[in-house]
Amino acid sequence: EKEFSAFLGINNTVLVNSGSSANLVALSSLLSEQVDNRINQGDEVITTALTFPTTFNPIIQNNLTPVVIDVELDTLNVDASKINEAISNKTKALFFAHTLGNPFQIDTALDIAKKHNLFLVEDACDALGSKYNGKLVGTYGDIGTFSFYPAHHITMGEGGAIVTNNKRLSKTIKSLRDWGRDCFCEYNETNPNGACRKRFDS
């Protein structure tokens, strides 16, 4: 994790079992009560009509509403000119893949995300090592995801990774990976129910 963070020039890497899980945990983390401007069930996430199931399905799995826009035929990436018209007062995130290693128009997506206070999640599972304006993709948005499936570039003994510069998001991502929930407590023999006393609550 430390070496991968150093390679990308990012603060936090969390390894998971696959790129698919990376996408699911990444999006799920944005619904946490620990996160500022959190996403709520029913909110909208903009993605593309042509994408990977593991980019699209986490939206459905988190009871969010997918809003799909078209892609550019030459890159199969999001047509960034269509993002603005898809935004509503329920929109909370943009979730796009760098398809087949080709970076999407990150500068446009970032400008829109900042203007509307949206999360930007980069699915860089196919794009480890690809650069946009000289900077590695997966490091621009709030969260980036990577896959180390054998058909991709490398393996690290685990199947995927989630990266972020946001310390609070990183903590939530680790908790979801390790506990399946966004509660973090170190074990304490004198208080097995955890520091928050909610360790075993539903």
Inter-residue contact 64 to 41 (CB < 8 Å): yes
Angle at 35 between CA 79 and CA 122, to 5 degrees: 25
How far apart CA 14 and CA 192 sit, in angstroms, is 26
How far apart CA 136 and CA 153 sit, in angstroms, is 15
Which residue in the list 98, 116, 152, 153 is annotated as catalytic? 152
User: Residue 152 catalytic?
Assistant: yes
Angle at 144 between CA 6 and CA 121, to 5 degrees: 155
Q: Active-site residue numbers?
A: 152
